[in-house]
């Protein structure tokens, strides 16, 4: 199975944040402002490692542990894994609180985003 990319999308009224990671690259789109940065091979390897622990075909069925996004108290988020040209999109969850099965992957994506933001 070839993992081509993984995307994190976070939305609420007035805010749209999309982050797409692929081999050696992070593309960020925040309210339409697009930025592209390199990521290390080690960062991409960690992403791949965490994706391998997930059954991508079933991520749309995972239950979100909280529902703050329903009242705009949290950004509505989802993760999309692209494998062999097919997109597998997770159920929607509150930003910062993904389903347990996606937590390691979500935390690693956030770590990479924060590391790149500080540069």
One digit per residue, the tens of pLDDT, for the chain of length 119 reads 699 999 999 999 889 999 999 999 999 999 999 999 999 999 999 999 999 999 999 999 999 999 999 888 889 999 999 999 999 999 999 999 999 999 999 999 999 999 877 55
The burial of 63, by beta-carbon neighbours within 10 Å (0-12 exposed, 13-18 middle, 19 or more buried), is given as exposed
The helix/strand/coil state of 80 is: strand
Structure tokens that stand for 101 in this block: 């099965």
Ranges of each domain in the chain: 3-117
CATH 1.10.1610 at 3-117, yes or no:
no
Q: How many CB atoms lie within 10 A of CB 11?
A: 16
Measured in residues, the chain has a length of 119
């Amino acid at each position: 199975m070839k993992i081509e990319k993984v995307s994190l999308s976070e939305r609420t009224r007035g805010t749209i944040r999309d982050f797409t990671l692929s081999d050696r690259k992070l593309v960020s789109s925040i309210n339409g402002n697009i930025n592209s940065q390199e990521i290390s091979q080690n960062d991409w390897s960690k992403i791949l490692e965490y994706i391998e622990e997930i059954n991508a075909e079933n991520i749309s069925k995972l239950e979100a542990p909280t529902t703050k996004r329903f009242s705009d108290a949290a950004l509505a988020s989802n993760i999309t894994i692209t494998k062999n040209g097919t997109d597998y999109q997770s159920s929607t969850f509150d930003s910062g609180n993904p389903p347990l099965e996606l937590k390691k992957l979500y935390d690693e994506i956030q770590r990479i985003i924060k590391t790149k933001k500080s540069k």
